[in-house]
Structure 1
Amino acid sequence: MQQKTIYLIRHGETDFNRRGVVQGSGVDSDLNDMGRAQAQAFFQAYQHVPFEKIYVSGLKRTYQTAEPFINLGIPYEKLTGLNEISWGIMEGRAPGNTDDEYYRSLTDAWSSGNTARTTEGGESPEQVVVRQREAMDVILSHPDENPILIAMHGRAIRILLCWLTGRPLSDMDQFEHSNLCLYLLQYNYETKTFTVELANDTAHLLSLALV
């Protein structure tokens, strides 16, 4: 019974994360000092894992998060299907009352089941699923690559985990995430099913709280 072990992480912190500014797929920001420290802490905790391949989105904050592993010579591939959802007009905007209301009405609509609703100038969760399926088809077409590391984005991870585990997209907010959290997944090639073994795990970041 062949399985693939997937270490799925969210990228480390950026200054936009710290300020509460929406990045989406249109803002290609760098990790800040904390984000780089988080990436190093994850590397220290998981450098013993013999990753066969690393997959990152087309945005540099995911590459920078996985960079300590890439520097070991582990092959990596960028898949834009793993990009964060496009938030359209919301991207790069500082939080404010109007923006907060827009965001809240949007996420409320998604939670109510209207996952076809897009942000203005952006994507809907259902549109994100289409490109994620293409990316996951690429990833799963290489059963010899085991285990693997995937670096992605918060909202995109929520969407991904819903359809991977057979849950409706309206449940996406059930999957919590923080910067450089880990979800450990197992994919069974025989049953074509995913199981979640670790969720939003940040034990590897405890050392940063002591600094």
Structure 2
Amino acid sequence: MEIVFIRHGQTDVNKDNRLQGAKVDAELNDYGHEYARKAAKNFDESEFDVVYSSPMKRAVETAKIFTKGKKEINLDDRLLEFDFGDWDGMKMDEIGEKYPDVVDPWGKVNRDYVKYSKNGESYEDFDKRCGEFLDEMYRKYPDKKVLVVAHGRLIRMMAAHYLTNGDMDKIDTPDNSALTKFSVKGGIARLVYYNRVLA
């Protein structure tokens, strides 16, 4: 199986440097639309046998742009972005000031954030749902090419599931509209590229 992930295009929530998790269903902004369309011109949707997307607006919009209306898009709730609980929508600057112990040197929230956002998703639960999705894709499409349009933190965890036993803190966030590709054979995944930009 070859599986390619595309992170959704930019939203105003991204631009404002706020946490944009499962409870924040933002649409692409003008730049997000424009850049995704530019990147999609260098993308061949015909290579893929099947397309999956997070049901969130920003992902579905991006999936439609990249597939150019030529592919059926299967929505899957397991591809929802990480759920930050009560922290969803908060500015990272505010989090960094109030809770510096859960912000890493790259300015991202780390696994210990659940000490403060009690109803947020744990890394373990997140890894579990990502792993279930990946296992199902491999069972269904062992010799196919799968396209998945989703979210930055989710793509980090997909990569972490394959490469670091679910330790997402070792993997950077891909850029908006950037591509990540894995090749999976005999149940073993290899990273082909990460954070590839097309425009």
Q: TM-score surpassing 0.5?
A: yes
Residue of structure 2 equivalent to 1:162: 160
Q: Which residue, out of 8, 26, 31, partners 2:28?
A: 31
Residue of structure 2 equivalent to 1:111: none
How far is the alpha carbon of 1:77 from its aligned partner? 0.9
Residue of structure 2 equivalent to 1:194: 189
Query: Structure 1: how far apart are the matches of 2:121 and 2:150?
Result: 17
Q: Is there any run of 5+ residues in structure 2 with no aligned partner, and where?
A: 105-109
Q: Return closer, same or farther for 1:37/1:73 CA change in 2, 3 Å cut-off.
A: same
Residue of structure 2 equivalent to 1:208: none
Provide the identity percentage: 26
Q: Which residue, out of 20, 43, 46, partners 1:46?
A: 43
> What do you get for the CA RMSD once the two structures are aligned?
2.3
Letter in 2 for 1:9: I
Aligned counterparts, 1:32-181, within 5 A: 32-47=29-44, 49-97=46-94, 99-101=95-97, 104-108=100-104, 115=111, 118=114, 119-143=117-141, 146-165=144-163, 167-170=164-167, 172-181=169-178
Residues 83-132 of structure 1 deviation map (CA, whole Å, 9 limit, x = unaligned): 111111111223444x2245642345xxxxx9476333210111101111
Q: Return closer, same or farther for 1:50/1:38 CA change in 2, 3 Å cut-off.
A: same
Task: Report if the CA contact (8 A) 1:12-1:31 is conserved.
Answer: yes
What TM-score, normalized to structure 1? 0.81
Query: Structure 2: how far apart are the matches of 1:155 and 1:198?
Result: 17
How far is the alpha carbon of 1:176 from its aligned partner? 3.9
Q: Aligned residue pairs: how many?
A: 192
What TM-score, normalized to structure 2? 0.85
SS at match of 1:132: helix
Q: Is there any run of 5+ residues in structure 1 with no aligned partner, and where?
A: 109-113, 206-211
Query: Structure 1: how far apart are the matches of 2:153 and 2:50?
Result: 23
Task: Report if the CA contact (8 A) 1:63-1:151 is conserved.
Answer: yes
How far is the alpha carbon of 1:199 from its aligned partner? 1.3
Q: Return closer, same or farther for 1:95/1:179 CA change in 2, 3 Å cut-off.
A: same
Residue of structure 1 equivalent to 2:6: 9
Query: Structure 2: how far apart are the matches of 1:174 and 1:133?
Result: 16
Residue of structure 1 equivalent to 2:107: none
Query: Structure 1: how far apart are the matches of 2:73 and 2:156?
Result: 23
Residues 158-204 of structure 1 deviation map (CA, whole Å, 9 limit, x = unaligned): 11211112x1434534334111111111111x2x01111111111x1
